[in-house]
Amino acid sequence: MRAASQGGILEGGNPSQYSASNPIILFIIQAGIILIFCRLLHYPLTLLRQPRVIAEVLGGILLGPSVMGRIPGFTHAIFPTPAMPGLSLVANLGLILFLFLVGLEVDLRYFVSNWKIAVSVGAAGMALPFGLGCAIAWGLYNDFRDEPGTVYIEFGTYMLFIAVAMSITAFPVLCRILTELKLLSTPVGVIVLSAGVGNDVVGWILLALCVALVNAGSGLTALWVLLTCLGYVLFLVFAVRPVFMWILRRTRSLQDGPSQSVIALTLLIALTSSFFTGVLGVHPIFGAFLAGLICPHEGGFAIKVTEKVEDLVGALFLPLYFALSGLSTNLGLLNNGITWAYVVGVIAIAFVSKFIGGMLAAKVNGLVWRESATIGVLMSCKGLVELIVLNIGLQAKILSTRTFTIFVVMALVTTFATTPLTAWLYPPWYQRKLEAWERGEIDWDTGAPIDDGASEADANSVRAQRHGDATIRSLVVYLRLDNMPTLLALVSLLGGKPSDTAEKKHPIREK
């Protein structure tokens, strides 16, 4: 038997030919092409202030069967079927690390501090799209359940999955949009982050239930899977986290920052947690998310871990994962009127129901209409979390390729619309005007400042009408500056509502 050639291209070898014994060469070619496409698309999209996930999915669509796949021999040469498991393995490792980073970003203190408005906005933002998602699931189930690449499942499980896909919010994308638009310290930003935390956690729990129902042979087995997962969560919170905190204090990682050994231990916890949720019958990403949740935020530990891991995950692993989503998307399957009707219906339900639910809940909690509408738009953002959910459905054979494509188009449209609509509804000049009016410095109707002399009494009158007679009952001295902007925004939210007898009201409030 002749040994494999070691001379490479010098002996006439083809570097793009897949070899099971040496798959790294083709993987480098695949990763390089994906990264180049994503970066080239990302540059013009940044001019429209779009998140990077849009470019990554569009890059995958261009490289997939919709565009480049139509070139004879392209898919066979660059993305041959035997090479896809290796690419998928690396991409899914990146997904696990990304969900770990998402867990690190989720600070449950946001939710606890603003639990009333977070529960109302989050619940309304989930309930309405969840219900309408159940309704449209009936048509999707009857029209597309027998397509190739799917397995038979009960309608209840299918309905639950579609409803979760409709109602989930992309918390990581929200963080980046709020940061880019400089809204993190505004009341809108704090409320959206608080509601996004609860929405994210509930959405992942429901998705875990759906995956357990699909993987289990019976409902009783799914119940045991969920109970075991609940026990595992309690184990993480009451056993793993205290030991981890003790190690961090012992190594002074909370004060001085994590060392390389502590980073390795943290990643080992994330991977081990992913392993356990995977073998329990739930997707491994849930374990990584839980591992991120139990990491402390004291001393900026979560931020420092994120800074050490985020760039590699965001620059290399995530583009591969979302490009794979695009490679699995075939726009050519949207080839008849019924399918396009579902595309329009899914987009309308996903956006309008989220928008109305979040907006009305925010208005009930005392925000003006324009702020409430901004919250509704932000809560309708899907982004990468939606694509993760869809990929889980495709891998579990819940969704056919056609249904998967319908929902990918929905995710792209809703994510694309979020930033422009938010910038239009809540521009900086409106924020400044609203803040000045709330401080009693300007007249809302004319925008003219209140005079200094005799009008000082008018300004005090406006402030009194706005805030009432307030007395200081307690004083808190906060010595850390890293979270001060968000803390100040939270304090402003807790400042109370305008008096019902106030003569000067925001004109939008009167409608």
For position 444, what pLDDT does the model report? 65
pLDDT at 467 over 80: no
Answer for the pair 330, 401: CB distance below 8 angstroms, yes or no.
Answer: yes
Cα(208)–Cα(204) distance, rounded to whole angstroms? 6
- Quick one: residue 281, left, alpha or beta (phi over 0 = left, psi -120 to 50 = alpha)? left
Lowest mean pLDDT among 13-17, 235-239, 485-489: 485-489
Q: What is the average per-residue pLDDT within 417-429?
A: 88
Mean pLDDT confidence for 91-118: 80
**pLDDT over 70 at 210, yes or no:** yes
510 falls in which pLDDT band (50, 70, 90)?
very low
Q: Average per-residue pLDDT in the chain? A: 81
- Predicted confidence band of residue 501 (pLDDT cuts 50, 70, 90): very low
**DSSP letter (8 states) at residue 10:** G
Coil, strand or helix at 449: strand
pLDDT in tens, 59-75: 888 898 888 888 888 88
Q: What is the dihedral of CA 303, 309, 314, 315, to 10 degrees?
A: 130
For residues 62-100, one letter each, b for 16 or more C-beta atoms within 10 angstroms of the residue's C-beta and e for the rest, the string is bbbbbebbeeeeebeebbeeebeebbbebbbbbbbbbbb
Report the range of poorest mean pLDDT among 432-436, 450-454, 464-468.
464-468
Percent of the chain whose pLDDT exceeds 70: 81
pTM of the model: 0.74
More confident residue, 490 or 95: 95
pLDDT (average), residues 275-302: 88
Range with the lowest mean pLDDT among 34-43, 48-57, 88-97, 482-491?
482-491
Domain 96-317+334-426 classification at class level: mainly alpha
Cβ 313 vs Cβ 96: under 8 Å = no
Q: What is the pLDDT of residue 196?
A: 78
pLDDT band at 268 (very low <50, low <70, confident <90, very high): very high
| pLDDT band for position 506 (cuts 50, 70, 90) | very low
pLDDT (0 to 100) of residue 297? 87
pLDDT of residue 445: 63
Which pLDDT does position 267 carry in this prediction? 96
Return all residues near 482 (Cβ < 8 A) that are at least 6 apart: 300, 303
Asked if 385 and 169 count as a contact pair (C-beta separation under 8 A), the reply is yes
Confidence tier at 508 by pLDDT (50, 70, 90): very low
Q: How far apart are CA 17 and CA 14, in angstroms?
A: 5
Query: Is residue 55 packed enough to be buried (19+ CB in 10 Å), middle (13-18) or exposed (0-12)?
Result: buried
Q: What percent of the chain has pLDDT over 90?
A: 25
DSSP sequence for 27-52? HHHHHHHHHHHHHHHHHHHHHTT--H
Given a cut of 80, whether residue 424 has pLDDT beyond it is yes
pLDDT of residue 1: 44
With CA atoms as reference, report the closest residue to 412 among 321, 346, 333.
346
- Specify which residues 442 forms β-bridges with: 449
Q: How confident is the model at residue 298 (pLDDT cuts 50, 70, 90)?
A: confident
pLDDT of residue 7: 55
Q: If we measure between CA atoms, which residue out of 407, 414, 351 comes closest to residue 129?
A: 351
Position 219 scores a pLDDT of: 65
Report which of residues 114 and 499 the model is more confident about: 114
Q: Note the pLDDT tens digit of each residue in 375-422.
A: 999 988 887 778 888 888 888 888 888 999 999 899 889 888 988 999
Helix H, strand E, coil C: the string for 417-443 is HHHHHHHHHCCHHHHHHHHHHHCCCEC
Residue 48 has pLDDT above 50, yes or no: yes
Residue 476 is predicted with a pLDDT of: 59
What is the sign of the dihedral through the CA atoms of 175, 181, 184 and 189? negative
**Which runs of consecutive H residues, i.e. helices, occur in 48-114?**
52-63, 74-78, 84-105, 108-113
In this predicted structure, what is the pLDDT of residue 247? 95
Containing 228, the helix (H) or strand (E) segment is helix 219-235
81: left (phi over 0), alpha (psi -120 to 50) or beta: alpha
User: Is the pLDDT assigned to residue 78 strictly greater than 60?
Assistant: yes
Is the pLDDT reported for residue 511 higher than 50? no
Which alpha helices (H) appear in 106-154, and where do they start and end? 108-113, 115-144
Span 446-468, average pLDDT: 56
Query: Using CA atoms, how far apart are residues 437 and 214, in angstroms rounded to an integer?
Result: 54
Q: Which two tokens stand for residue 69?
A: 């796949």
Average pLDDT over residues 102-113: 73
Rounded Cα–Cα distance for residues 437 and 431 (Å): 10
- Would you list the domain boundaries of the chain? 96-317+334-426, 431-493
pLDDT confidence bin for 449, thresholds 50/70/90: confident
Query: Cα angle at 75 between 72 and 77, to 5 degrees?
Result: 90
pLDDT digits (tens, 9 = 90+) for 176-199: 788 778 787 677 887 887 787 777
